[in-house]
Structure 1
Amino acid sequence: MTLHKSAIDRLCKRHVPLSDYSTYGVGGLANYLAMPETSADLAELLQDCKRLGMPWYIFGMGSNILFPDEPNKDMVYISLKRLVELAVRDDKWYVASGTPMSLLSLMGLIGGGDSLDFTFLLPGCVGAGIYMNAKYNASQVCDILDTVYYIDTMDPGLSVRSIPASECQFAYKQSIFQHHPWIIIGADLNTPVSSEEQISSTALLLQEWKTRGSHPSSLPSFFSFFLGEVHALAGRGIPTPQSMLDIIKYRTSKRHFDYPSCGSVFKNNYDYGVAIGSLVDQLNLKGTEYGGAIISPHHGNMILNQNHAKATDILYLMNVITEAIHQRFGFIPEPEIVLV
């Protein structure tokens, strides 16, 4: 008699450093880590976790997460970074949640449009971008969505459901998905499919990402991959637009990809009207070090892992910033980074 292997046995790696799955390069050993490649595998994995009473934690590319130094031994960490698909369904672009947001900008560039340019060098995946309504300057992920597909983990059947973008309660770094036990698995975009050339070139680009770009969760590797792909497109006669050149200039000038980090640590307080980075600058906190972590000398709202930092080092510097802003400016900044 052949026993059916459980999804946990079939899909999970054991004793895996979470630091390899976060752009922060921080995190202790996880007893269970899975990277399902289909929504069916994800559902089966969740069913197993429910049956065995094991907690789970869902994340994407790990670009906005601080993992703990000592993870919960029973937790099943589930990365959706291999749930990657960019395809045309019913004349709309469908994007699976593990697809890098930056890939959308190249797809749009190939198609001759500019509505996706803002996603260039956003170092996260589409699912996480939808969850937090990621933005760059005035553009937000909600601007490019038509329909979002998700699994409600309270549904015994864990079937795939859909919700129009207009009903997702999007606001600044906010969405309905932050208030429900729903797992985003993909979305239809509201941007048009321009040509067969765009479809075929996007498929090749996606395959390149799967082959060369998707592991590890490293900011320098991420930057190198997408910069190289933009240069390759320029070599094919598709010039890099000024909007993307400006993004490259901004992110390199702020040294966004020099050290492991998760980008901005705190959300900006628009009621106060001054960016958190500027407030940290006014407080003369840039360059403050603790353990292996440092408040970036180039951007006050970034804390870098400059020398094998622990989660506790980063949390210490977050508290330094929080207390200083509260004391001087009278409010407590809200973390943008997700503390696991």
Structure 2
Amino acid sequence: MIESSTRKRDVGTITAAVNDALHHLPGDNRFCLMLIGSWSLNLGTPTSDIDLLLVSDERMTGTESLQAFQRQIALSLSWVQIENVSREEFGRLVAKAQLPSYQSLSSRTLELIYKYTNSHVLHGNDVFRELTEAFSLEDFSVKIADYYMSRSMNVYQDVLGARLTEDHRSAVVAVRELVGLAVDALLALRGDAYPKAKWRLKRATRLQLAPSLMAAIDRCLVGGPTGELADHWQWIENALMLFRQLHFLTVYPGGATLPFPGLDATVAGNPWAFVLRANGKWLITHQDRFFEANEQSITVLFALAMALPPAQVINVVGNNAVPNHGDSTTSVDTSLQLLEKLGAL
């Protein structure tokens, strides 16, 4: 056992403590033991709790063997939380990851799917591989990103409602959540599909976004409106534009090379015109209703949101964003007319 006077917390120490206590668990009950939570996401600190997941043929919750196992680890590592589920329960959870859409699943269920299947295995690699054979992180990540962007539509309605009632405080809360969902979608598409706002900013540093864009995200999610903008709707509108810029990156990752404006920058376009890509189609709001828009028009709208010439954005997203192969100026003018008609300008 690790002496309490030499306690420290890192994956190596946790693994040693677990291996030292494994003899308490019965050998006739096949199991795998995983490190989950902040430690499995490489976000653990010396003061972080240690969360373990035990998946066994039969549940061992409440048994003397599991209690003895937990007592020994706790003596070595201080606070340790152990979750125990059966193979059948774990299998049902993985099966939910195969659903074509996650809109019917709770955020708690999605969190468990990700936390359980993307853990650090401490014991029972063979059992873990059997349990997760049907799970695809890539497929899960894409569905999670769609889940976040679909949720953003509901949050946007909250922003609109707050605007109608002139409830500035509620609008700030809602628009910060909107930007947070866009960050979560970006993280998911980059392989970090942890469906929880916890550690959002710390995880966002992995996106390697432009410093100005990271600063805008930080100011929006942590700082909020200050100074002259503390009670001004201009900050809300700027944050809505930030959401539009982040949504652009979820669809066109190559757009990260563009010079994004800061949170206080003046950009063109109506920030209250909500844009969403859902089921392979671009949707845009007009008087609280959604209408389908072509990709060329959306590209022009993104360009306006980033204070860039439309052609510069088109170069990033590719020629497939230009359905009209004639004069590009005419094509942009046509898109501007459509955007104006839809109230996006």
Question: TM (normalized to structure 2)?
Answer: 0.23
Question: TM (normalized to structure 1)?
Answer: 0.24
Larger C-alpha radius of gyration, 1 or 2?
A: 2
Larger strand share, 1 or 2: 1
